[in-house]
Amino acid sequence: MSQHTIGQLLSDSREAIRASLYQASQDTKIRVDFLESMENDDFEFVSGGPYVRGMLRSYVRWLGLPEDRVLAEFDRLYNVGAQTPLAEMISRPTDVGPKARKPQWLIAAVSAACLLLAFSIIGLINPNDEVANPADPVAIEETQTEAPPPPPADVAVAPPDAPVEGVNVAVTVTGERSWMQATADGVEPPVFTGTKVEGDVLELSADESLKIVIGNAGAVRVSVNGRDLGPPGAPGAVGTFTFTPESTNFVGG
């Protein structure tokens, strides 16, 4: 952090993953002019240090930078202690008090009244019909349905070792987030550009090759045609990789 200012670090990291301020604003829900101010080391664009600190945290997370180090440097320079951002305070759910809960006895009474009304209507419509005794074997037998027929024995099943055509890549986000851009068979425009968060799986296919730029490389795992290659780099690193049907490791390019 001593060689670059916070703003320079933010700007350089965004440009390294080839993302525009507009793209960052769309993903982080932070105004473009606020992002631009932070990249220019202007952290007085709104009043209230904790609010600025919260927006800085969101931007740092989106870029895949070490959050604790950047915020510690921000606190040292601007003397702002870690406080809960306004966005987290607003989004935090509140406990529902006992007055907001519906009385259980009232729900039970309404249900019983509805059942009595339904039975009364049935009796008025069919006063002479006999109601089948649930214990009557004949009544039980009539309600049983036939078991579904077994599947045909000649259903074709694909062989387990059927060859896989083309290159199929799955990128699973195991960390907080990762920005990615993918190009299939060297043809522009890219088939995907955007940010995926933890738990997301980006599945891509091409005839011959897939070129993928991956930001925060330590936060993802990559598999090619079912072969798990693991993470392509360290947390916060940005890399460009080319995958083919025969890929068994990461090839830059």
pLDDT tens-digit map of 45-61:
888 788 899 999 999 99
Location of structure tokens 């951002």: 85
Distance CA 103, CA 146 (A): 43
Angle between helix 21-28 and 32-39 (nearest 10)? 120
Q: Are 209 and 185 in contact (CB under 8 A)?
A: yes
- pLDDT for 180 equals 82
Burial tier of 13 (Cβ tally within 10 Å: 0-12, 13-18, 19+) = buried
pTM score: 0.41
What's the token pair of residue 142?
């009539």
- Per-residue confidence at 193, pLDDT binned at 50, 70, 90? confident
39's CB contacts (< 8 A; 6+ apart) are: 7, 8, 10, 11, 14, 21
